[in-house]
Amino acid sequence: MANTIRLEGEIRNEFGKGVARRMRVAREIPATIYAGGAQPVFVKLPMKETTLALRRTNALFTIAYGDDSKLAVVKDVQRNPVKRIVEHIDFYEVKAGEKIEVSVPVFVEGTPKGAAVAFVDIQELKVRADVANLPERIVLSVEGLTEGTKIFAKDVTLPEGAELVIDDPEESVVTVEVPEDATLSTAPAAPEANGEPAAAAEPAAAAADTEEK
């Protein structure tokens, strides 16, 4: 089993907004661990350690409470819309060797050729993998790719044992193209005659015409 993040919690038997407020003052976060059709377990977790642990995407947790513990992954996180502090967490219990579906964020690395830029068409990909080997991110290289190049879902390399959950393997995940504003900024200047701008010839011709008259 891969390393898990261990959180030391306590069973909670009180509920409601007032209780949750007191827990936040005490630097604790209310959490619920769901286990299929079984009765969920209600716990409270240390705020600092838990908030730091949530920075890892698709992390595997060992949540200890009393003499028991459960292996779980994050199902949902509720944050205060203003202060952004974590107000509640839903976990889902998993078993060693079990495969589950998770959403994995997509990132790119490298620089395409010329003025081309890489655009991520799908921000997250759904992946089915063993709970011991859940990918935190998918990084796709765009180094040296030319305008018009696409990276399709079928081209994405995943960790061993993981598989992509997608209806169309031909769907574009990343597109490399030159932005419209970049094309305009590199447009060629108006042609010049004898080293002088063509527009300068008009006033000169007009002056000559005046002298003749």
Residue range 100-185 in CATH 3.40.190.10: no
CATH superfamily of 5-95: Ribosomal Protein L25; Chain P (2.40.240.10)
Contact 46, 39 (CB under 8 A): no
- Positions of the chain with pLDDT under 70: 1-2, 182-213
Q: Are 58 and 102 in contact (CB under 8 A)?
A: yes
Q: How far is CA 90 from the centre of its chain?
A: 20
- pLDDT tens digit string along 27-41? 999 999 999 878 999
Residue spans in the chain of domains classed CATH 2.170.120.20: 100-185
Q: What is the pLDDT of residue 185?
A: 53
Residue type for position 72:
A
**Which amino acid makes up residue 208?**
A
Kindly report the pTM of this predicted structure.
0.76
- Residue ranges of the chain that CATH labels 2.40.240.10: 5-95
